[in-house]
Amino acid sequence: MVMFMPIISEFIGSEFQTTCLATGLLLSLVLPLTASLQAPPSLGDPQPWMRTVWTGQGLMALGGVLMIVLPQQPGWGLACVVALCIFFVSRLRRQLKATIA
């Protein structure tokens, strides 16, 4: 375990980058939790909003990759993650509202 620490510290250089990555990781929980808390109980039907959840998760993961690729400017990746999270949560809520109604 100790021998991997220098390798990890090469990828995560600053405290700001670490904070941005941790924040992005926490924001990745928003879409699945929103879907599980607001979705009606399923009767075995395919859930059409799951595509929105998976697309949002994938694009937010690309924002995390952007934070790692641009270590001097991790704020751009975090801004992408926040914007994508807001966009896909609002889209998910509209889909769930239409499904319930």
User: What does the domain layout of the chain look like in residue ranges?
Assistant: 14-39+47-100
Average predicted confidence (pLDDT) for the chain? 84
pTM value is 0.80
Is residue 13 scored above 80 in pLDDT? Answer: no
Q: Rounded to an integer, what is the distance from CA 85 to the centroid of its chain? A: 6
pLDDT at residue number 4: 54
Q: Check if the beta carbon of residue 49 is closer than 8 Å to that of residue 88.
A: no
Task: State how far the Cα of 46 lies from the Cα of 1, in Å rounded to an integer.
Answer: 43
pLDDT in tens, 51-88: 999 999 999 999 999 988 888 888 999 999 999 999 99
